[in-house]
Structure 1
Amino acid sequence: MRFQLTDDQKALRAGIRELLARRFDRDALRAAVDRGPVLDRALWRALGEAGFFALRLPEDAGGVGLGLPEAVLLFEEAGAALLPGPLAATHLAAGRVPGAATGESVVTAVDGALVEWLDSADTVLGDTAGAEPMRSLDPLTPLHRLPAPGPAASPEYVLLTAAEQLGSAGRSTALAVQHAKERTQFGQPIGAFQAVKHLCAQMLVRTELARAAVYAAAVTADPVEIAGAKLLADEAAVRGARDCLQVHGGMGFTWESDVHLHLKRAWLRAERGMTAARAEEVQAQALAGA
């Protein structure tokens, strides 16, 4: 099965990439890190105006009328940009929660025993009684912990999270390759050394494998395939960020580098929606049933 994007899908992806480059570039990312986890409402409304949240609503309901494959493309770009906020919860609430489709309302949801952006949300889906703030690994994702886990996340939520992981994996690969070309050692770029070549090649392979799985799951919407896509996307994002850090060497550990932000967000997303252990269980049960 081949997954070639249509011209409309390419234009959609280019449009959201241009919007994020204009409204949430690297300077804006670093400013957000310095400012702390404060949701940018103007950016949220800009996403709403661009159809990010209403993408899959029918046109007669004020939406764009597209499908899950197109939503995956948008979330892949959001993941690459490390766009903060409860994107998946608000996207899935469009048409059900007033203002979610237009970005006027911020919607978050209970995700297992965690809730992201609880204090910034206008609407919370799920019971948050007893939620306590906790220190988040990601400086751009505030968290609250619940005394007991809530219901499992929907397959769509899991897939959109996997798409964000895919975007982060792709960006980590690009950062590693760029650094390998620019950083010189012993009179030549470090990318000329075999060990660095292998790291970059492995990152690319994991990313493209995850891409095929995420795109396929977006077409079929099959829960088992979505579980497999999340598993591969988590691995590509986490291992990709760690390998990217290795390519950067000591400077990769510094606060000024973006590499650690991708690693921290990847770790957090790996626990969102469906953990690796749960994804493996879903895959094993499907194989046993087959």
Structure 2
Amino acid sequence: MRFLLTDDQRALRDGVRLLARRFGPDALRTAVARPGLDRALWRELGAAGFFALRLPEADGGVGLGLPETVLAFEEAGRALLPGPLAATHLAAGAVPGAADGSVVVAAADGELVEWLAEADVVRGDTTGAVPLRSVDPLTPLHRVPEPAAADPLAVLLTAAEQLGTAARACELAVRHARTREQFGRPIGAFQAVQHLCAELLVRLETARAAVYAAAVTADPADIAAARLLADEAAVRGARDCLQVHGGMGFTWEAEVHLHLKRAWVRAQRGGGGTESEDLLAAALLTEAG
């Protein structure tokens, strides 16, 4: 299935991409060295309408739909924007200040709660939460003893972020393959590297079709399938991108290792892995009678 974006959707995507440049390579490395939520960036996202995309215009929102929100979250994932983006977006209209970015909202919608200590509002029971050492330096984590079920929309928005990481990993791998030389030739001329890049693209476009379709239908089974494909595209894509970079991929100079770590963390959010597999299996069995 092929999805063609409208002119307005392309403009929205490009606008979010421009906004995401506010969190460029220098800001990214500064955040790694001094972890903490950038409240100024958060307010900029709010002022641009990122958190209020689906809020009706009568309530001060942008009045767009789920497909447009998925496009915005894809760009957020591509740029590695930190913070509980999905939780704050889903709280817009229900939690005062969430829509304009003046309030940060975290949610206990799985075993792991992100940014618990820096949130102004926490939705869900976090009694007994234990801080964890996070593999991703940009995502502080707490574990809760009794995880709550994840909101299907939060699952879809996580899939969109994973899609953004998969797209960025593909872009970084191809760029490096074209410019890095070995034995007097770009490494992209070697078949093994070409295969890695081709597999990156196939997984990316398969996940993109599934995520966009789920954004249109909002069906729980479609969302579960999209999440599984997006997790695979992000994690395997970042790993293959790191493989294309070789030893350089493990260094702080390379962006790819941060994408891999973020993809690992997102894959553990509520609605991922076994939870989505069980939901999708149940839906398929029901459909088969």
TM-score, normalized by length of structure 1?
0.97
CA-based RMSD = 0.8
**Partners of 2:6 and 2:65 in 1: how far apart?**
13
Q: How far apart are 1:275 and its partner, in Å?
A: 2.1
**Partners of 2:167 and 2:251 in 1: how far apart?**
21
Q: How far apart are 1:130 and its partner, in Å?
A: 1.1
- Structure 1 residue 216 corresponds to structure 2 residue 217: no
* Equivalent runs, 1:54-203 vs 2, <5 Å: 54-149=52-147, 151-203=148-200
Counterpart of 1:258 in structure 2 is 255
**Partners of 1:74 and 1:42 in 2: how far apart?**
19
**Partners of 2:272 and 2:42 in 1: how far apart?**
27
Q: Return the letter of the residue paired with 1:9.
A: Q
> What is the percent sequence identity of the aligned residues?
73
The Cα offsets for residues 194-243 of structure 1, whole Å up to 9 and x where unpaired, read as: 00000000000000000000000000000000000000000000000000
Which stretches in structure 1 are left out of the alignment for 5+ residues? none
Q: How far apart are 1:27 and its partner, in Å?
A: 1.1
* Equivalent runs, 1:6-45 vs 2, <5 Å: 6-21=6-21, 23-36=22-35, 38-45=36-43
The 8 Å contact of residues 111 and 269 in structure 2, kept in 1 or not, is answered as: no
Q: How far apart are 1:44 and its partner, in Å?
A: 0.3
The Cα offsets for residues 15-47 of structure 1, whole Å up to 9 and x where unpaired, read as: 1111111x11111111111112x0000000000
Q: How far apart are 1:283 and its partner, in Å?
A: 1.5
The secondary structure found in structure 2 opposite 1:111 is: coil
Q: Return the letter of the residue paired with 1:54.
A: A
**Partners of 1:2 and 1:197 in 2: how far apart?**
24
Q: Return the letter of the residue paired with 1:269.
A: R
Report runs of 4+ in structure 1 exceeding 6 Å deviation.
none
**Partners of 2:189 and 2:164 in 1: how far apart?**
26
Moved more, 170-179 or 24-33: 24-33
The Cα offsets for residues 268-289 of structure 1, whole Å up to 9 and x where unpaired, read as: 1111121222211111111111
* Equivalent runs, 1:242-281 vs 2, <5 Å: 242-281=239-278
Q: Return the letter of the residue paired with 2:31.
A: A
Q: Return the letter of the residue paired with 2:23.
A: F
The 8 Å contact of residues 78 and 167 in structure 1, kept in 2 or not, is answered as: yes
Which stretches in structure 2 are left out of the alignment for 5+ residues? none
- Structure 1 residue 284 corresponds to structure 2 residue 281: yes
The secondary structure found in structure 2 opposite 1:96 is: coil
The 8 Å contact of residues 109 and 151 in structure 2, kept in 1 or not, is answered as: no
**Partners of 1:283 and 1:240 in 2: how far apart?**
23
**Partners of 1:133 and 1:76 in 2: how far apart?**
28
The Cα offsets for residues 120-174 of structure 1, whole Å up to 9 and x where unpaired, read as: 100000111111111011100001111222x211110000000000000000000
The 8 Å contact of residues 241 and 259 in structure 1, kept in 2 or not, is answered as: yes
The 8 Å contact of residues 161 and 273 in structure 1, kept in 2 or not, is answered as: no
The secondary structure found in structure 2 opposite 1:243 is: helix
Equivalenced residues, count: 287
